Chains A and B, each alone.
Chain A
Amino acid sequence: MKRFLSGNEAVAWGAWESGVHVAAAYPGTPSTEILETFAPMPDVYAEWSPNEKVALDVAVGAAYAGSRAMAVMKHVGLNVAADSFFYASMTGLEAGLVIVNADDPFMHSSQNEQDNRRYAKFARIPCLEPSDSQEAHDLVGVALDISEQFDTPVMLRLTTRISHSSSLVELQGVRPPARTEKPPYRIDTTKYVMVPGNARRRHPVIEERVTKLAQFAETFPYNRMELKDRALGIVSNGVAYQYAREVFPEASMLKLGMTYPVPAKMLREFASQVERLIVIEELDPFLEEEIRLLGIAVEGKSIFPICGELDQQVVRECAIKAGLLPPSARVPVVTPEKGPLPSRPPILCPGCPHRGTLYVAKKLGLVVNGDIGCYTLAFQPPLGALHTCGCMGASIGVAHGVAKAGIAQRNIAALGDSTFFHTGMPALLNVAYNRSNVTTIILDNRTTAMTGHQQHPGTGRTLQGRETVQVEFEALAHAMGIQRVHTVDAYDLKAVEAALKDCLEADEPALIVARRECALMPEARKQWMPLQVNAERCNGCGLCFRIGCPAVVKSGELDAKTGRPKARIDPLLCTGCEICAQVCTRRAILFRHQLIENKEQQQ
Chain B
Amino acid sequence: MSERSTEQTPINFLLAGVGGQGTILASDILAAVGLSIGHDVKKSEVHGMAQRGGSVTSQVRWADKVYSPLIGLGEADFFLAFEKLEALRHIEMLRPGGTVLVNDYAIPPLSVSSGNDDYPDNARIERILSAVTTRYYWVPAIALAESLGNARVNNVVLLGALSHFLPHVPLAVWLESVRERVPQRFADLNERAFLAGREAMEKDR
Contact = CB atoms under 8 A, between A and B. Distances in A.
Binding between chains A and B: yes
Interface of A: 4, 108-109, 132, 161, 164-168, 239, 242-243, 245-246, 311-313, 316, 331-350, 374, 376-377, 381-382, 449-450, 452, 520, 542, 545-546, 548, 550, 552-554, 572-573
Given A167-B42, A572-B151, 19 more contacts: A108-B47, A165-B45, A166-B43, A167-B66, A167-B69, A239-B69, A311-B70, A336-B128, A339-B124, A341-B85, A342-B117, A344-B109, A346-B48, A348-B50, A376-B49, A382-B110, A546-B114, A548-B114, A573-B52
B170 interface: no
Residue of B18, B46, B70 with most chain A CB atoms under a 10 A cut-off: B70
B132 A520 contact: no
B53 A312 contact: no
A382 B41 contact: no
- 4 tightest A-B contacts by CB? A346-B50, A313-B72, A165-B69, A336-B131
Nearest to A520: B51
Contacts of B113: 545, 550, 552-554
Nearest to B27: A166
Contacts of B199: none
Contacts of A167: 40-43, 66, 69
B131 A346 contact: no
B88 A312 contact: no
A333 B110 contact: no
A245 B74 contact: no
Given A311-B70, A331-B74, A334-B92, A342 B51 contact: no
B37 interface: no
A331 B73 contact: yes
Given A166-B31, A350-B52, A341 B69 contact: no
B75 interface: yes
Interface in B88-138: 88-89, 91-92, 94-96, 108-115, 117-120, 124, 128-129, 131-132
A132 B94 CA distance: 25
A342 B119 contact: yes
Given A165-B69, A311-B70, A554-B113, A4 B96 contact: no
Nearest to A345: B54
B46 A4 contact: no
A239 B44 CA distance: 12
A450 B52 contact: no
A109 B48 contact: yes
A346 B54 contact: yes
A166 B61 CA distance: 10
A312 B74 contact: no
Contacts of A344: 18, 53-55, 85-86, 89, 109
Interface size class on chain B is: 35 or more
A341 B120 contact: yes
A277 B92 CA distance: 33
Contacts of B86: 344
A161 B44 contact: yes
B166 interface: no
Contacts of B18: 344
B35 interface: yes
B42 A335 contact: no
Contacts of B119: 342
A564 to B, nearest CB: 12
Contact of A168 (B35, B44, B53, B73): B35
7 contacts: A108-B47, A242-B68, A243-B68, A345-B50, A346-B54, A548-B114, A553-B108
Contacts of A168: 35, 40-41
Given A167-B66, A336-B131, A341-B89, A347 B53 contact: yes
Contact of A109 (B32, B49, B67, B108): B49
A316 B49 CA distance: 29
A598 B70 CA distance: 52
A251 B48 CA distance: 35
Contacts of A572: 151
Nearest to B93: A333
A348 B43 CA distance: 27
A336 B92 contact: yes
A175 B147 CA distance: 49
A3 to B, nearest CB: 10
Contacts of A165: 42-45, 69-70
Contact of B46 (A108, A132, A338, A343): A108
B72 A311 contact: yes
B67 A164 contact: no
Contact of B128 (A338, A350, A450): A338
Contacts of B114: 382, 542, 545-546, 548, 552, 554
Contacts of B118: 342
Interface in B6-65: 18, 31-32, 35, 40-55
A552 B72 CA distance: 36
B41 A346 contact: no
A349 B70 CA distance: 28
A520 B52 contact: yes
Contacts of B111: 342-343
Given A164-B44, A331-B72, A342-B109, A377 B96 contact: no
Nearest to B120: A341
Contacts of A349: 50-53
A237 to B, nearest CB: 14
